[in-house]
Amino acid sequence: MNESDERKDFVFKITVIGDGGVGKTSLIKKYTKGSFKKEYIKTLGAQFSKYDEKIENSHVKLFFWDIAGQAEFSFMRPTFYKGSKAAIIVFSHAPKEEEKSFTHISEWHQDIKKYCGDIPIVLFGNKIDLVSKESLDDSKVEKITNERSFLGYYKTSAKTGTGVYKAFQAIIKTLYEKYKDQ
């Protein structure tokens, strides 16, 4: 393999944040590996996944930083946020998790803004497979998306794959468009 085969045109660090148990790790694995594991394994601190993608004629190297959502890891977060070009805030639509994880969106947003400034952010409402379409009220999610100038809100299911590709592509293509002419 020669050097030109190895060359990457873009390198993007994307931080994935949200409460513990909302499916951050599962979403990343679904996008990067196409897999889903049902058992929950708590992320300790942070872990990262590398993924290569081609957009137009450019090579894009993505680093997804999956940051633990539990409060005991909060002291580590500023270090993990450093260098992020974008962020994904994940909350859960699962009935027992939704209210709590939804109310923390603004805290996650303030945290990322404090350490990264105004980077592009998308909101993923995960575990959509656990609720019926009739019981979903998107008005409060759309309100926070508009108020906080998020790039968008995507309903996802790491289990079924619903919305996952489209949601990740939204942030990746935004980064590509932002940096391709620089």
Domain borders along the chain are: 3-179
pLDDT of residue 13: 96
Q: What is the pLDDT of residue 177?
A: 92
Q: CA-CA distance, 162 to 16, in Å (whole number)?
A: 18
Q: Let me know: does 36 contact 121? Beta carbons within 8 Å.
A: no
CB 26 within 8 A of CB 159: yes
Instruction: Report the sign of the C-alpha dihedral through residues 142, 93, 155, 133, in that order.
Output: negative
Give the model's pLDDT for residue 149. Answer: 96
Amino acid in position 83: G
Kindly tell me the burial class for residue 121, based on how many C-beta atoms sit within 10 Å of its own C-beta (0-12, 13-18, 19 or more). buried
**Residues in a beta bridge with 14:** 64, 86
The fold of 3-179 is Rossmann fold (3.40.50)
Name beta bridge partners: 30: none
Question: So what's the pLDDT on residue 39?
Answer: 63
Looking at residue 6, its pLDDT comes to 44
Rounded CA separation 45/171 (Å): 23
Beta strands in 2-149 (DSSP E): 10-17, 46-55, 58-67, 86-92, 121-126
Task: Report the alpha-carbon distance of residue 113 to residue 160 in Å, rounded.
Answer: 31
Output the pTM of the full model: 0.89
State which amino acid sits at residue 16: V
Q: What is the pLDDT of residue 45?
A: 63
Local confidence pLDDT in tens for the 182 residues of the chain: 444 444 458 999 999 999 999 999 999 999 998 876 666 566 666 788 999 999 988 999 999 999 887 877 777 788 889 999 999 999 999 998 989 999 999 999 999 999 999 999 999 999 999 998 888 889 999 999 999 999 999 999 999 999 999 999 999 999 999 998 77
pLDDT at 105: 97
HSE-CB at 43 with a 13 A cutoff on CA atoms is 28
Q: What is the pLDDT of residue 161?
A: 95
